Structure 1
Amino acid sequence: MTGNNERAEAIRWIQDQGCFDPPPPPPPPAPVCYRNAEGLTWDGQGEMPSWLKRAVNAGKCVEFYWVG
């Protein structure tokens, strides 16, 4: 039991020293730029999602799904 107590004391000491900064907050979510009628979205970053690829291949214009 002494080992657990020593460990807890060591953890408290390290936390009191301020050796570790709290983790940064997560980045804000990217704004939605494209949305379809089913509510699927894409922020315009990375590869175009399959739902939008299928629509474009079927003849729809990408701008049709633009929501700004």
Structure 2
Amino acid sequence: MIASTSLAAGGSASLLLIVGVAVVVLLLGAFWLGSRRAAQRKDPAPRPATTDQTGPAAARKDSWTTPGPDDRP
């Protein structure tokens, strides 16, 4: 009775190993396919370069200033 139990456990372990390897292969294949599709996708249009500071960037322009010699406490 002990021998049949160990044989059943060995069979399920090998099945679990095969399923695990199949899952890893599928994940690697999906990653490879997704990276190829992303590489073939068109690049988005470049953002226009703005010379004037408008919007949130203009509001934060003076948020940091380097203290000068007169700014000491």
TM-score by length of 1: 0.30
Q: Which has the larger radius of gyration?
A: 2
> As a proportion of its length, which structure holds more strand?
1
> As a proportion of its length, which structure holds more helix?
2
TM-score by length of 2: 0.29
